[in-house]
Amino acid sequence: MQEFEENPPLEFDPEQCRNESEVESKLIVQYLLPALGYRPNDWHQEVAVGSIRLDFLAFAAQVIPFVLDANSPLSVAMEAKSPKQNLDLHVRKLGRYLSSLNIKYGLLTNGKEIRIYARNSDTIQLVFQCKGREIQDELNAVKRLIGRETLKNQDHSIDTNSQASLQSIGKDEMKVIAVYHNKGGVGKTTTVTNLAAAIRKRGKRVLIIDLDSQANTTFATGLIKFEDEESDNLKSCYVYHLLKSEELFPVSEVARKSEFCDPPISVIPAHIQLMEKEVELGRLDFTRGTLVEKLKAAESDYDVVIIDTPPSLNLYSKIALIACDYLIIPSDLKPFANQGLQNVSTFIKEQNTFRRYVSKPAIEVLGVLPSKISTNAKFFQSTFPKRKAAINRYGFNVLDSVISEREDLAKCAELSYTIDDQEIPDPKSVFDFKPDSPSAQEFDALATEVLQKIGLVV
């Protein structure tokens, strides 16, 4: 929970909010909540309710921990977005939140604009709107709507369905997705990083695990900023350390914060040394199941885990396919990639055999993801459908989403800045590089499809 100020600032400056985290801390936590009369034990942050994750819940007459009865209703849901976000894109989602949880009011803000919606049956209505810089002048109007004392005197009862829904608070099941193909150059790293960013921007807590010794995903998430071996800050704690010990190096110790995406994402990095560690790890009886156990211990910390894999049939690919719940197979759909799907199919069957021994169900293959696809109109209309159809002979479905080969995807991974003539890699997700680009739209569509298939869509 973020720090709470007993005496809120007299003014709020929207220019101080540069990202979603600052909208949460500077506008909601430090200004609005105390100004509206909510004390630290009247609200809670990042509350999971089934597949829904709310930024803030505020109570008119409730203390934390939750006591679920008719006298302790959820009064206000507050959702914070990045100043770059268009609030219109999030209204329907807020409406689903309010209807599902029987919440009367919802506040939606990106710092620059503040809106309040009221629920009426299964629909919501805009009842207040102002610019962020106008909030001081409009504070009394906001208090009359969602101030704690105002709501405390109103009748808010929780219906039976909402009561049952609330029982699921904090019980989301973490979903683990591996991204694998035994052919290289099909867009695995691009898929992992930008799919993770798309899901993170929907409020899910995301962990990326890089199991490829080439460490492309580690680079693409901005964790490799050193120029020589002496300044290498990864080799002392990376995915190898997580795998080599059953008791030591939990996920929380190995994962690092990456700001290639806003909000940040946790990443367990790889290292070039991972290649030479394979024989050592292969001699350990427990290695193939270590990641399963480490993730189980961290399941309350993340909603979605995405694992990048090497383009091979080696130990690290086995570890990923044993640990995952779901599998995405990126492919450019060219003949060699399609032919490699037979090896992928056989490899999946082999890992499913091992999974039975450790009481894990078979991997659910979400499908082959067409990636690095040409945007040439003639190719897309004529050749592309034929290549998609060829996938059927290998027993895999093809995802509806398509990731095209575009310059933006290459550029966002190659961003850098210079300090004292030293070029520092500073890659960004496509959403943070060009949020309105066709590539961002394609990955947003992929996130929707994936979340629907794994049961986490909100």
User: Cα 440–239–444 angle (5° rounding)?
Assistant: 10
Q: What is the per-residue pLDDT for 2?
A: 47
- Please report the DSSP string for 348-400 in residue order: HHHHHHHHHHTT-PPPEEEEEEEEEE---HHIIIIIHHHHHHGGGGGT--B-S
Residue whose pair of structure tokens reads 């939990």 in the numeric block: 250
Q: What is the per-residue pLDDT for 174?
A: 93
Q: What is the per-residue pLDDT for 457?
A: 62
Residues (pLDDT < 50) of the chain are 1-6, 63-72, 155-171
Distance of CA 77 to the CA centre of its chain: 20
> Taking the CB of residue 321, how many other CB atoms lie within 10 A of it?
23
Q: What is the per-residue pLDDT for 154?
A: 65
Q: What is the per-residue pLDDT for 61?
A: 58
Domains of the chain: 14-166 (3.90.1570.30), 175-454 (3.40.50.300)
Q: What is the per-residue pLDDT for 291?
A: 95
Q: What is the per-residue pLDDT for 450?
A: 95
Q: Tens of pLDDT along 327-350? A: 999 999 998 888 889 999 999 999
Instruction: Name the residue among 284, 252, 290, 281 with its Cα closest to residue 268.
Output: 252
Round to whole Å and give the CA distance between 412 and 331: 21
Q: What is the per-residue pLDDT for 171?
A: 43
Q: What is the per-residue pLDDT for 321?
A: 97
Q: What is the per-residue pLDDT for 4?
A: 44
Round to whole Å and give the CA distance between 440 and 193: 12
Instruction: Name the residue among 399, 426, 417 with its Cα closest to residue 195.
Output: 399
User: Cα 46–48–50 angle (5° rounding)?
Assistant: 160
Q: What is the per-residue pLDDT for 392?
A: 85
Q: What is the per-residue pLDDT for 227?
A: 65
Residue whose pair of structure tokens reads 């947003």 in the numeric block: 444
Per-residue DSSP letter, 276: T
Q: Output the pTM of the full model.
A: 0.65
Strands 43-49 and 52-58: antiparallel
